[in-house]
Amino acid sequence: MAICFRCHRSGASAPSSVDHYRTLARNARKNKVWPASVPSLLAGHEAIRKWGFQMKSSNGYPLNVVSSQKEEPYTDHSKAKEEQIDSTVSITVVGASGDLAKKKIFPALFALFYEDCLPKHFTVFGYARTQLTDEELRNMIGKTLTCRIDKRENCGDKMEQFLQTCFYHSGQYGSEENFLELDRKLKDKESKQMGFLSNGDNRNFFIPVFPINMILSLQVGKSANRLFYLSIPPNIFVDVVRCASRTASSPTGWTRVIVEKPFGRDAQSSGELTRSLKQHLTEDQIFRIDHYLGKELVENLSVLRFSNLVFEPLWSRKFIRNVQLIFSEDFGTEGRGGYFDNYGIIRDIMQNHLLQILALFAMETPVSLDAEDIRNEKVKVLRSMRTLQLDDVVVGQYKGHTRGGRSLPAYIDDPTVPKGSLTPTFAAAALFIDNARWDGVPFLMKAGKALHTRRAEIRVQFRHVPGNLYKRNFGTDLDKATNELVIRVQPDEAIYLKINNKIPGLSMRLDSSNLNLLYASRYPREIPDAYERLLLDAIEGERRLFIRSDELDAAWALFTPVLKELEDKRIAPELYPYGSRGPVGAHYLAAKYNVRWGDLSSQYS
Ligand SMILES: NC(=O)C1=CN([C@@H]2O[C@H](COP(=O)(O)OP(=O)(O)OC[C@H]3O[C@@H](n4cnc5c(N)ncnc54)[C@H](OP(=O)(O)O)[C@@H]3O)[C@@H](O)[C@H]2O)C=CC1
Ligand SMILES: O=C1O[C@H](COP(=O)(O)O)[C@@H](O)[C@H](O)[C@H]1O
């Protein structure tokens, strides 16, 4: 049987007596202070006793250890109720008939189920307007599920078991009545799983949670937790949250909502969205997803930096000349033009995925691996950044191209794109962090669709070696001899460091070679999809990889003025052929800061 990679066999760390925590709970009630450790330690104890393992959060700490570092006021029920004994989790995918749900969310849920990472009692619900029966939903998602390459054992059986936990409810996104019907179905499943009967309607979202309720719920040990995944266009986010919160939130456990980007189009609309969501949800309940934060190599950034002495001391303006964050896709909008045209590449990729990577890359050492400590550091970086200027941006759009007899369409040939659109499908930008560590270091971003390759990477170019003894052997182009650290996020995940090396032989000839950590060779196990990690984190209440509202505000503050200027001035993007390396303007922008794009140099590897 597969054991969830998040769990580890344990025993020694089990609390010696559950009574100790019951006493803590009694004291907490008396003092009106609820230590977050109490319920989670109880749950931890129970998990270890029952199943012989302890749940770990994705930062590698058992959740109870993380939360025991702080004392929360007892009204912070979301944290206090995070782990409960014999609870159920219902996951409702709103927009279940859509592209993202089919492509990513259901397959990720199945992968988690396959790995035994989902809670013992869980149910998956699809919700959308399309009329489907449970069986039709199962047929639809059954086609998209795959088995892990390295573990095909019992896959068919597992798939069948998973599909039997999937149900469907058809409804309108703005109908409280339809969400109430969903609530009834959820309750029915939950009560069957927990062995007690549903007790009627639930119309209140914020059920006040008093210590006595917590203690009762701990003693009974049962709560019905609900996760809603909003896989729908952004214009209906608020309707769904309003309806779900009023009629389909959990009366006994947590209710969390995963929200997909885009989170607005600019600072103002993002602020409005946040305010609207917060009319119905607390910040703790909102899980704003940026799936790049769930990618393995992005997760590894902090490990690389903070657990290796050879990197951290070099991580500053003193040794780093520039940092490049590069995203490219070798396909165009292909049917998503309707969505894309309203946003463009800066909003689609830079303001979120690349900026999040930048913040993680550049932040100071957090106090701990706790979500709030990490997010605090990220916000500080974002708030130390200079607002992006138009002079530091280059925009492009792909045009049609014929290669090898194959005709590749222009962006504006996409039937879902308005004729004459000026929306950029490519952008390059130079950003700066005005703090002591990064003063003067250009952070260059480049993102584009319909380019020559599909790739996402971070390239760190180091300074030249002062008074280099081997200057003579390098010739005049010192750039060729500088060290470069490349973190290739995808595909073919790898971390490699370009170093100078003597070519073996009697003469003193040097070349640039790579110290190469290629994941496929070192770690043969398949890397989980980002959505798996993030869904599991949301279920476990781990918020570290989700965007907090102040992070979002800071991110929009950087990009909003330039986006407005580009649109107000109707700046025409530089055209580049589909399948090319993008507009020449990107080279001039880099050259302005004495930088060469690492992915385009002759030494590129
Ligand atoms: N697809 C992707 O790769 C990615 C998507 N996202 C984001 O995830 C969310 C979902 O994306 P995706 O699945 O592609 O979206 P879809 O356009 O496929 O929409 C999802 C579902 O929402 C319903 N829907 C679509 N348009 C409307 C509308 N105008 N009014 C009401 N309901 C509508 C449809 O269901 P029905 O008609 O059955 O109700 C549809 O199946 C979006 O916010 C998107 O920006 C983010 C990253 C990547
Ligand atoms: O968020 C988005 O990401 C995808 C790229 O994601 P990846 O995991 O396949 O690299 C991008 O195609 C899409 O335009 C954007 O909305």
Report residue 195: phi and psi, to 5°.
80, 20
Among 169, 280, 291, 353, which one carries the catalytic annotation?
A: 353
Q: Quick one: pLDDT band at residue 62, thresholds 50, 70, 90?
A: very low
> Does residue 70 surpass a pLDDT of 70?
no
Q: What is the pLDDT of residue 153?
A: 73
Ligand 2: nearest atom to the Cα of 353: 1
Q: Quick one: pLDDT band at residue 481, thresholds 50, 70, 90?
A: confident
Q: Quick one: pLDDT band at residue 3, thresholds 50, 70, 90?
A: low
Q: What is the pLDDT of residue 478?
A: 67
Average of per-residue pLDDT across 461-467: 91
pLDDT in tens, 170-203: 999 999 999 999 999 999 999 888 775 344 444 4
d(C-alpha 43, C-alpha 65), whole Å: 12
Q: DSSP state, 126? A: E
Contact partners, residue 469, CB within 8 Å, separation at least 6: none
SS3 of 387, please? coil
> Does residue 410 surpass a pLDDT of 70?
yes
Tell me whether the omega of the peptide bond preceding residue 262 falls within 30 degrees of 0, making it cis: yes
Tokens of 382: 């974002």
Query: Which amino acid residue places its CA nearest to atom 41 of ligand 1?
Result: 98
Q: Pick the ligand that lies closest to the CA of residue 103.
A: 1
Q: Quick check: ipTM above 0.90?
A: yes
Mean pLDDT of the chain: 84
Average of per-residue pLDDT across 468-472: 80
In the structure, which protein residues have their CB atom closer than 6 angstroms to any atom of ligand 1? Answer: 95, 97-101, 128-130, 173, 231-234, 236, 260-262, 339
> Which has the higher per-residue pLDDT, 56 or 492?
492
Q: Pick the ligand that lies closest to the CA of residue 530.
A: 2
pLDDT in tens, 302-338: 999 999 999 999 999 999 999 999 999 999 998 777 8
Share of the chain above pLDDT 90, in %: 69
Ligand 2 close to Cβ of residue 348 (< 6 A)? yes
pLDDT in tens, 241-262: 999 999 999 999 999 999 999 9
Tokens of 145: 């599920």
Q: Quick one: pLDDT band at residue 35, thresholds 50, 70, 90?
A: very low
Cα 232 to ligand 1 centre (Å): 4
169 catalytic residue (yes or no) = no
Cα 346 to ligand 2 centre (Å): 12
Torsion sign (Cα): 516, 521, 523, 525: positive
Q: How many CB atoms lie within 10 A of CB 478?
A: 13
Identify the bridge partners of residue 170 per DSSP, sorted by sequence position. Answer: 128
Cα 129 to ligand 1 centre (Å): 12
Q: Quick one: pLDDT band at residue 222, thresholds 50, 70, 90?
A: confident
DSSP notation for 339-375: HHHTTHHIIIIIIIIIHHHHHHHHPPPPSSSSHHHHH
pLDDT in tens, 376-388: 999 999 999 999 9
Q: Quick one: pLDDT band at residue 266, thresholds 50, 70, 90?
A: very high
* Secondary structure string (H, E, C) spanning 278-341: HCCCCHHHEEEECHHHHCHHHHHHHHHHHCCCCCHHHCCCCCEEEEEEEEECCCCCCCCHHHHH
Cα 536 to ligand 2 centre (Å): 20
SS3 of 587, please? helix
DSSP notation for 70-109: SEEETT-HHHHTSS-TT-EEEEEEETTTSHHIIIIIHHHH
Share of the chain above pLDDT 70, in %: 80
CB 81 within 8 A of CB 219: no
Q: Which residue has the tokens 């319909």?
A: 450
> Does residue 521 surpass a pLDDT of 50?
yes
**CA 276 → CA 115, 247, 263, 279, distances in Å?**
37, 17, 12, 5
> Does residue 474 surpass a pLDDT of 60?
yes
> How long a stretch of residues is the chain?
605
Report residue 577: phi and psi, to 5°.
-70, 140
